[in-house]
Structure 1
Amino acid sequence: MPHNKSFRIYRIYQDSLLLINHIFHCFLDAFHDYTEYFSLPLFKEADFLIPVKDNSMAPHYKGGDIIACKTLSCKSLFFQWNKVYLLLTPQGALIKRIYPGEDEQHVMLVSDNTDYPPFQLDHSLISNVALVLGSLSVE
């Protein structure tokens, strides 16, 4: 397939540990443990794709969907309230909507699926952040 300059090639990572260990540590271009490449003109700003593991964000993002993410700097982080982010925490990767927390040190993480209750998270527990730009779904 000829390379179209308006398309971007993305890697799909099957394991969030690969994401934790490599993507957010500036090894995206040098890292080769991916499963497939895709050309997706809709996600020109995305840095990577990763599959959703559960249904906490259903119906918007369901288990098996692939989300496109843009990495953000934690040093100058500014959350856009009600946007969906992928957050890396000591408990692993979380995909949640972000709202103001109880104080300046916390954010409220909210799932779209109401079976998952919202919870507060201290900013200090967020090691890396990516904005979710959209998803690919299969029926």
Structure 2
Amino acid sequence: MLGKLLTGLCLAMLCSLSFAETCPNVNDIKTNHLNGWKAYDSDDGAPLSTAREVQFKKMVEQFALAEWANGKRQSGAIHCYYRDSSGSNLEAYLAKDHFVPKQTSSSFWYSVSGYMHCAARKENCEFETKMLGNHQLAKK
């Protein structure tokens, strides 16, 4: 019985490591199914006010770009940018920490000024959970 339990746990961990994630789709944004994604102002990086977040969710129509920022302040953050119905970029983005771009032979990620960008279809801009190294674990 214990062997089956351990096998199941190991299988679950392997599956969770192998699945890639993408930016939220427009319907998820409009219906507030963001699963940990937070909205920020693209000019100053500050969290959006409640009023601006409501406006962002109302106006969002199309995925534009995924950006990976990995500095001291960003901690492997994925930024997801969107456009409105006229094709204009919204002045906000959704962000979630602790990810890395998924690198495959057909990767759509490219480097721009110290950041990694993906301007392909949302489904092609995949990223994975960033594995914590020993230096990031708490000390005794």
The TM tier, using the shorter chain, reads: under 0.3
TM-score, length basis structure 2: 0.26
Structure with bigger gyration radius:
2
TM-score normalised to structure 1 length: 0.26
Higher normalized strand content (fraction of residues): 1
More helix as a share of residues: 2
